[in-house]
Structure 1
Amino acid sequence: MTYGGHVRAIAVLGLPLIGGHLAQFAIGLTDTVMLGWYGVEALAAVTLASSYFFVLFLLGAGFAMAVMPMVATAAAEEDETSIRRCTRMGLWLSMLFFVAAMPLLWWSQPILLLLGQDPDVAATAATYLRVAGWGLLPALLVMVLKSYLAALERTQIVFWITIAAAVTNGVTNYALIFGNWGAPELGVTGAAIASFVTQIVSLAAVVLYAVRVLPEHALFRRFWRPDWEMFARVFRLGLPIGLTMLSEVTMFASSALMMGWLGAIPLAAHGIALQLASATFMVHLGLSNAATIRAGNAYGRKDRAHLARGALVVTIMSLAISAVAVTLFLVFPEQLISLFMESDDPHRGQILLIGTGLLAMAALFQTVDGAQVIALGVLRGVQDTTGPMVIAALSYWLVGIPASYMLGFRMGWGGVGVWSGLVLGLACAAVLLMARFWGRTIYRVEALA
């Protein structure tokens, strides 16, 4: 396939995935915007709670992400039995993970206090997590089934289901946070209920589609029967993916904790800037998922040339997206931040001042953030996950987090220093992961297969 052919194929596969990720992002964005209207204290608490929730969610989502390259490879090999087996065991592992994680969500308040958070913010965050935490189970199951469908190149249905979820979340938030349409005004608790309802609607939709449109895979027939050999394979591939994502999200969650040490207003500014940076990251993530699927297909066919061309094309596409994001963040910071606040908010001036500096740092890490997630995508496609896990841990925990603390507090740079540490951690990961793929993995496709 020519380079132009790769661009077209990645666009056809990736655009619905990007749209789906942006719709998923819109769910969190809706929470941030509406809670920002409700009050800075509520926004700060849910920013903290969301960071805590996603630490656990992304660790558990490793099993869902393992399903994607496994199904893509099995599809290239026309092995429908393996498609069913790995998807089913991904669902099993997700349910078991939820059982282990829910106590940490239910009893989050003492953990947040131990991490040095403001008692009032920690109490409100814990209230949110006691309700929203139950949504972890459907969220993980949805992730597995979306990975299964995406790997079969049924990305448009993934997009439409996520759009429906975003609409459900927005309507339910509007009703329950503010008490509109005769609903009670529940504030933070209303946002948590909306999150749970959204995940249930998503799960119902994706299960219905899988059962009705793809009955040949019989995903839920004799679902209770164990398949220990495939269970172990999904676990071995998925745990390093989960730990890799945990490494990155822990770095960002640590940055939220550090911003919390600076106060509720810096934490609110951090939440807004992070939402804006996350919007562009969703585009890179969609391209990364497309790279995983296409690399998985090439891996199944042992086609090294196809793998190399596809990886180069998707990397260039990611760099182009980064250039657009950098321009927006540097040229229109105040306009972007203002979207999240009422014009008469008494803290508006302080949040704009802090947020503008944070967006300048977000512009710096756009390129490296995109590069590292693209590298992870192609490496997962060829089922290389353990080495990237080690690279991620070293980059995020030994470089990013210590640098954030040193620059933010020891050097006295405040929020800009905390975000400078994020840039350094992401840059380290991007360089090492790209070096692993282009310097080692791509030349071993035949051996790995």
Structure 2
Amino acid sequence: MITKDRVVTILKLALPLTVGLASSFIMVFVDLAMVGVLGTAALAAIGLAGFSYTLILAFVIGVAPAVQGVVSRREGEESEEPKCLPLNAGLLLVLMIGVPLTLFCYLLTPSYFALISSDPLVTSEGVPYLRALFLSLVAVGVGEAFRGHWAGMSKTKVYMLNILFMNSLNILFNYMFIFGNFGAPALGTLGAGVASTMSVFIGALAYFIVTFVHFRTEGFLSIKPARELVVRIFNVGLPESIREALFSLGYVVFYWLVGKIGTLELAATNVLIRVALVMSLFPLALGMASATLVSGALGKGDVAAANEWGWDSGKVGIVWITLLGLPLFLFPEWFLSLFLTDPAAVAVAIVPLQITGALTGVTSLIFIFAYTLVSLGDGKRVLIVSFTTQWMFFLPAVWVIGPYLNYGLLEIWLVQTVYALIATVLMTMLWCDGRWKEIKL
């Protein structure tokens, strides 16, 4: 039976993470609103560029759960090793992967954009913006390594405060460089990319300063991590990077398939997916909290406690997120009307939104158990479940139900619901079989 104290412990870790994740999500809409003033070509350009950037980011963000898992495991073991060795290994990996990836992507951006956009105006707006974003790859990876370190140390407020700081800077820099305020040049869409990159680099610098102040005697940047540790961090994080890339690419295919049914359905789907993304922020934060608590318990050799922390995080997710989803179930038209002006689009999205609201608590287990398992070194099996359910069931089924049989959005959303439930069951089974208990970090 889960106790109040255990709920409080989980929430103390998860709530700052939720605020940080939500802040980053909101910034996407702020960027869209500010660039939208420049016209539809600029808006289309940053939309295409933003998604392309997200795909590439997948290659560096896997470092976060890897560093977090090792740090929290060492904390549980009360290891006498310098606390920053896993962080140093993560930072080294980010440099090894991020620097050549940045150069490669920067040089290929013009050719790539010409392939994904047939409008020369969109291309001319998108290329400099995307190039500016690619220059921030290393800084983003560095930030992810620090996030993993501080979350592993159970200090999630550091991540929250740094994200809020960066996003505040991003708003200021957008105002300066998009429109040419405070004496800055008016760079348009390029200014939005410059603003994002500058804010990320300053945020990374803030992480360096804070970490140096608190951990300068714990080997931060002063002790070279052993090759075995670097390889371990890489092996833990790689499956998650691949999974993120394939998952994002899968939803591009999903949008493409829905677009073949009709523009109305595509508009409604866009809103439904964005709502689902918002609802996934808290369970993702719970997964991060669970990873710290489970890894710490395993470090102490208390396997039973580790198992219990995972289940307790899942229980918190089911209850709290079901309550958050209840308004979506009860008042779907009101929520949809905030984003959709076409009554026909609202009408086709009502039942799918109600389904999302009703089941979002149960399906939150996907995010909670997946992140926990990845941080414990069980990412390969998480990758297998994610790939097979999305690419071998969900996307083929959407094609059959949608473009082939010409059914509507409700039927497609039922397929999406079945996909989510199957993935939930399989991810929970991975947790139940307990193989993660034997993995050494």
TM-score range, shorter chain: 0.7 to 0.9
The offset of 1:18, in angstroms, is 1.4
Distance 1:92 1:322 in 2: 37
For residues 423-438 of structure 1, what are the structure 2 equivalents within 5 Å? 423-438=417-432
Structure 2 CA distance for partners of 1:17 and 1:289, relative to 1, 3 Å: same
The equivalent residue for 1:132 is: 133
Moved more, 411-420 or 200-209: 411-420
DSSP 3-state at the match of 1:83: coil
What 5-or-longer segments of structure 1 have no aligned partner?
342-346
The equivalent residue for 1:161 is: 162
Match of residue 410, structure 1, among 404, 410, 432: 404
The equivalent residue for 2:70 is: 70
DSSP 3-state at the match of 1:198: helix
Distance 2:170 2:419 in 1: 33
Contact 2:85 2:225 in 1 (8 A): no
For residues 242-261 of structure 1, what are the structure 2 equivalents within 5 Å? 242-258=241-257
Distance 1:46 1:350 in 2: 28
The offset of 1:404, in angstroms, is 3.5
For residues 56-205 of structure 1, what are the structure 2 equivalents within 5 Å? 56-81=56-81, 83-102=83-102, 103-104=104-105, 106-108=107-109, 110-111=111-112, 114=115, 121=122, 124-179=125-180, 183-205=184-206
Contact 2:318 2:365 in 1 (8 A): yes
The equivalent residue for 2:286 is: 287
Contact 2:86 2:229 in 1 (8 A): yes
Contact 1:272 1:340 in 2 (8 A): yes
Structure 2 CA distance for partners of 1:419 and 1:44, relative to 1, 3 Å: farther
Distance 1:384 1:244 in 2: 13
Distance 2:261 2:211 in 1: 47
Q: TM-score, normalised by structure 1?
A: 0.84
Amino acid at match of 1:236: N
Distance 2:21 2:214 in 1: 23
The offset of 1:166, in angstroms, is 1.6
The offset of 1:309, in angstroms, is 2.1
The equivalent residue for 2:232 is: 233
Distance 2:163 2:171 in 1: 12
The equivalent residue for 2:6 is: 6
The offset of 1:397, in angstroms, is 1.8
RMSD of aligned Cα (Å): 3.4
DSSP 3-state at the match of 1:217: coil
The offset of 1:15, in angstroms, is 1.4
Amino acid at match of 1:242: S
Contact 1:277 1:362 in 2 (8 A): yes
Contact 1:44 1:271 in 2 (8 A): no
The C-alpha deviation readout for 1:58-86, integer Å capped at 9, x for no partner, is 23211222000110001111225363222
Structure 2 CA distance for partners of 1:99 and 1:409, relative to 1, 3 Å: farther
Structure 2 CA distance for partners of 1:94 and 1:56, relative to 1, 3 Å: same
Distance 2:128 2:417 in 1: 32
Amino acid at match of 2:192: A
The equivalent residue for 1:344 is: none
Q: TM-score, normalised by structure 2?
A: 0.86
For residues 373-412 of structure 1, what are the structure 2 equivalents within 5 Å? 373-412=367-406
Structure 2 CA distance for partners of 1:110 and 1:255, relative to 1, 3 Å: farther
Once the two structures are aligned, what percentage of the paired residues are identical? 22
Aligned residues: 440
For residues 272-283 of structure 1, what are the structure 2 equivalents within 5 Å? 272-283=271-282
What 5-or-longer segments of structure 2 have no aligned partner?
none
Amino acid at match of 1:73: R
DSSP 3-state at the match of 1:252: helix
Distance 2:359 2:137 in 1: 29
Contact 1:52 1:253 in 2 (8 A): no
The C-alpha deviation readout for 1:111-170, integer Å capped at 9, x for no partner, is 466568766656544442111111111011001011101110111111111111121122
Structure 2 CA distance for partners of 1:425 and 1:349, relative to 1, 3 Å: same
The equivalent residue for 2:218 is: 217
Moved more, 146-155 or 325-334: 325-334
Structure 2 CA distance for partners of 1:112 and 1:355, relative to 1, 3 Å: farther
Structure 2 CA distance for partners of 1:43 and 1:116, relative to 1, 3 Å: closer
Contact 2:330 2:354 in 1 (8 A): no
The equivalent residue for 1:34 is: 34
Amino acid at match of 1:445: K
Structure 2 CA distance for partners of 1:252 and 1:393, relative to 1, 3 Å: same
DSSP 3-state at the match of 2:222: coil
Contact 2:319 2:361 in 1 (8 A): no
The offset of 1:294, in angstroms, is 0.5
Contact 1:211 1:218 in 2 (8 A): no
Distance 1:25 1:283 in 2: 12
